[in-house]
Structure 1
């Protein structure tokens, strides 16, 4: 498989570019790519550019070939609204959600979230998750990088996005996920933390127009529930 790399700047139509230091290190030192090896570059604006690698000491250059207008985005614009999860679970959730085709990820602070982030720590963690999203695109072939939004409180989130379909996973709900009517536009999927949504949070979500859905009779972990639901919705409404 040809290695794919995200370039954090607009790629020119032709010519040779120098790869950023971190990208060059990953290509030459980690992946051990050599002179003349083919790579694929993308800048997040859509499409991708085949290129040939040139390693010159610690620097790497890429000779660009003709741009290919390849799109691998799902016809379903699905946003994952994920309550903060502890440890490395958020990394896993972000990476796999991107691979499954979500359009964006909104981390929310829930009452029962074990992980608590604010200020500079929160900003740095979001920046880290954005890089995880980039790696998910590099691996899965996506040429547009989903945005990881700044962390917000659940009620702050509920005050926005009222115009789209919002589905909240709730083991006590009576409707199945696939009972929902396919939206004409964006759909947003709310996933609770390890301890689940509180009664007050569920009530606030219902008041804001969120539709409660369940995934069968089983209670799934937070790192499992969202990914299972994304796959189900991609099967029903997307491109699976």
Structure 2
């Protein structure tokens, strides 16, 4: 639905990780790993709580500093202006402005990234996510599910080549999950790489590649059924 999802000419892998790791004084949160994600590829990132999923996504989003290795997004080192411009990140806990309405979030984020603001395409996306009746309200007053929908809306209010998502289905009803799944599919079809940390069976069943972490170690990279995921995260 969103025609601004991806516009960059595809000259390189969307995401390339080499020996990327994160350690703290008393903990190896993520053992060095290698991973390559192609344009238009959709990946389910799975693992139990504390397995390293959020650490990996936050490293790639430039929110954490790596202890080892490198990663590039559209050829740009993570954390650089080029990498940040190429990716959109949906964290596990929605990060929204207290003093901006839903519509103002869209206007601000779109224009911040060189977009047209809250135009007809954005208004259609607001309606698609079931937020039309709350578009002028502050998300601080929203339920967890509505805040999650707003977080997804904000991520899709700008162009991107790589979408990183951490547990996007929390708090969503069946209709909300279906809408978000369709948005991810649309992003893939437009050439964006989508990496989603989730155990949601509907998403896992749709993707051809599953990356599993256990205690910070990459233990699986390839096809997986929902039943395989249960085994991988146990």
TM-score by structure 1 length? 0.26
Tell me: higher relative CO, structure 1 or 2? Use CA pairs within 8 A at least 6 residues apart: 2
- Structure 1 or 2, whichever has the larger Rg, is 1
